[in-house]
A and B are shown apart, each in its own frame.
Chain A
């Protein structure tokens, strides 16, 4: 509903400040990144233009790169697995608890804390028992000594330990979204269904699930995209180590750019990450819209 005819000056005053900041901070760096990705450059010396060499090495000769890509995608998929559980909890809370809101607020607490605090806290929890690690101390106390691990130092399990912390932190977030969605379903529908003989789990199957699909979809997309860009949690907890066992694309890029000063190569990884995120964000949205259409 565009009603106001305004002068170009007014228009500029309203739109340009935000647009200029946005383009300078978000888009220009990406363009710079694509260009720097074609340089052989350590930041101090002369930059040499090498065309697509960096990309070629990245895709065909880099032993760290593809596992990092795989972990990035695995992370994105793993972050979605708790959402059905969140939906189930939301339905149960809504049915059996009168003050569901308060409980959801409690579950939500970890969401508002900085990843630095959450990451450090869980790092301490995962510590060996001799360093005060809660998890190992608990296992020992219950006589499960054989289950103790140096969780974050074992390449095979470290990444799953980090997945778990992510799931733990965002459980409350997805539960909150699902719970609000379930609460917003008008109770008249359930009452009408009850008269027709459908209540309890039958009502869930035929009323709650079809009506919750749009909200469910939002959670899925948020979790997927959020973890595609995941960085902080891994960076705080393991820094991508041991070795490169927990590296995702973003941490690998950061290490290459800032720790080993390979600006050109780091930028090539950054460019790849941008493309990956664009492709998968569009893909998940397309898939989800199709799902949405099927149910409505």
Chain B
């Protein structure tokens, strides 16, 4: 029983941290249903007197929400598909093919990981303009795919190295081509690390801001983070609307996290440890 006081101190610390990590988010939720007067009154912990849900309607009608959401889904979805396919192929080639430059290819991706993506913005903008990609979804998808490739290749090749080769050998003897082996044996086995890759890609692409802000200019192509940023900087009359828009912006990823939190946390750890 001599550990009791320590135990309660630990519980206190844990509780304080729950408050600090979650209270700002709860505060935002309350903020989003308050009137201007209530927000400015200085009672920061008070519940709103009447829940002003009209903030949400105003934010929804004023902010192209569905359009931005759709763009985010499209861009993130296509990026995820490309990343999985391309990185699985490279990972397979590096781990299995008799090929002198395998380590060199790996090194290229490794070195690229150290390059901060902001430094590529200006030249990419010029290049995209030159090849007429600017103003299409590819201006976002291509760099997103490129910057997700290294970590994905690491994770997938690490896994593929651990798959015993016997299966492929017997399939090869039975006359299966490399493509067939890749499609029917390797890809199905690789599903667990592919999930990890999906999660890492989703979290970073869904939330990406600066490329979206640099490479898209038209209203109809903005993704959600950029949309939130534009909405917040344009509508400064009604604070509640801004709060409501931010809550709506956070909602999809929070919902997904609520359902898949275990997978997501596992995926993030795997990404961190293997990267």
Residues on A close to B: CB < 8 A? Answer: 1-6, 10-11, 13-15, 17-19, 21-30, 32-33, 36, 89, 92-93, 96-97, 101, 103-117, 120-122, 124-125, 129-132, 134, 137-138, 140-141, 168, 171-173, 176-177, 180, 200, 215, 218-219, 222, 225, 228-229, 231-232, 235-236, 250, 253-254, 257-258, 263, 266-267, 270-271, 273-274, 277-278, 281-282
Query: Complex formed: what's the CA distance from A14 to B264 in Å?
Result: 29
The answer to whether B99 and A17 touch across the interface, beta carbons within 8 angstroms, is no
16 A-B residue pairs with Cβ-Cβ distance under 8 Å, sorted by A, are: A1-B96, A4-B172, A19-B108, A21-B86, A23-B108, A26-B147, A101-B265, A112-B264, A114-B208, A116-B228, A121-B28, A124-B31, A173-B272, A177-B272, A232-B210, A273-B119
The answer to whether A103 and B261 touch across the interface, beta carbons within 8 angstroms, is no
B51, chain A: closest CB distance, angstroms: 17
Q: How many residues of B contact A (CB 8 A)?
A: 99
State whether A177 and B273 are in contact (beta carbons under 8 Å apart), knowing that A18-B86, A19-B105 are contacts in the complex. yes
**Contacting residues, chain B, for A130 (C-beta < 8 A):** 40
The answer to whether A18 and B42 touch across the interface, beta carbons within 8 angstroms, is no
Neighbour of B115 across the interface among A106, A117, A215, A277, CB < 8 A: A277
The answer to whether B118 and A10 touch across the interface, beta carbons within 8 angstroms, is no
**Majority-rule SS of B interface residues:** helix
State whether A229 and B116 are in contact (beta carbons under 8 Å apart), knowing that A138-B44, A141-B42, A236-B209 are contacts in the complex. yes
Query: Complex formed: what's the CA distance from A124 to B112 in Å?
Result: 36
The answer to whether A125 and B145 touch across the interface, beta carbons within 8 angstroms, is no
Report the tally of A-B residue pairs with Cβ distances under 8 A: 282
State whether A120 and B102 are in contact (beta carbons under 8 Å apart), knowing that A96-B11, A215-B273 are contacts in the complex. no
Query: Complex formed: what's the CA distance from A268 to B95 in Å?
Result: 38
Query: Complex formed: what's the CA distance from A277 to B13 in Å?
Result: 36
A277, chain B: closest CB distance, angstroms: 5
